[in-house]
Amino acid sequence: MTRRRWIADEVSGNHAALVGEHADHLARVLRARVGQEFDIATTNSVRRGRITAIGDSRVEFELGQEIPAAVAANITLLLSVFKFDRMEWAIEKCTELGAARIIPLIARRTEAHLAAAAGNRVERWERIARQAAEQSRRLAPPEIAQPMQLKEAVALPGSLRILLAESEQGVTLRDALESHPAGGDVTLAFGPEGGWTEIELQMFRDAGWKSASLGSTILRAETAAIAAVAVVVSQPE
């Protein structure tokens, strides 16, 4: 039977701990007991962990042997802020697929009330990403950045930066990835529910981004993000 994986909140030598709500879920909801074993992800590895103590909002582990773990793909998502329930779905699923970094983006057509509230949602998005990372047995959750303005976003570095745009007719995402080595860093930008404006498209072009499409149908923002990450991680070695 596969052991459940937890991402440690604290690590010191051969000891680790979960704290707060993270620990409460294991202790109270899953009714963990001293002596039970789980896989514990630390900063750089996954190790077998045996529960040594359960306290108030704290579960402590003794760490044992290291367990082989897959390294997450180096994929950064620029995700224009859209309806929060759908954005949470995108964050969860893109985490499961292996995204390394998710940057909420304030685009011209991002609804004003969503843009204003986005900064207050980061902590919740981080929690969703952590839970999805544990469920999918990742080494660590993706970084969830503070919301970023478009002017900053287009200047982000990267060896392959791809703008997903409905207006692109000739180049698919697979085409754009063809000459890029599997496992290399990829940055993907997704527009809001109203799509990119022409000014925004030009800003990306001027900054050297490639544009690509996900096909002839019009996808919801969360569908586009999930589909694109799946395409990137399915690149042949």
Give the CATH number for residue 33. Answer: 2.40.240.20
88 and 51 in a common domain = no
> How far is it, in rounded angstroms, from Cα 126 to Cα 148?
16
Domain closes at, from 67, 93, 117: 67
pLDDT of 171:
94
**What's the total number of domains in the chain?**
2
100 and 153 in a common domain = yes
58 and 131 in a common domain = no
pLDDT in tens, 150-189: 999 999 999 999 999 988 888 999 999 998 887 789 999 9
pLDDT of 32:
93
128 and 50 in a common domain = no
Pairing type for strands 58-67 and 46-55 reads: antiparallel
Q: Which domain range does residue 14 map to? A: 5-67
> How far is it, in rounded angstroms, from Cα 51 to Cα 49?
7
97 and 53 in a common domain = no
> How far is it, in rounded angstroms, from Cα 4 to Cα 64?
15
101 and 41 in a common domain = no
131 and 214 in a common domain = yes
Average pLDDT over residues 205-221: 94
pLDDT of 237:
67
pLDDT of 108:
95
pLDDT of 1:
56
pLDDT over threshold 90, residue 24: yes
- Tokens representing residue 88 in the block: 């949470």
> How far is it, in rounded angstroms, from Cα 40 to Cα 4?
9
194 and 176 in a common domain = yes
pLDDT over threshold 80, residue 230: yes
158 and 84 in a common domain = yes
Average pLDDT over residues 81-105: 97
Average pLDDT over residues 89-100: 97
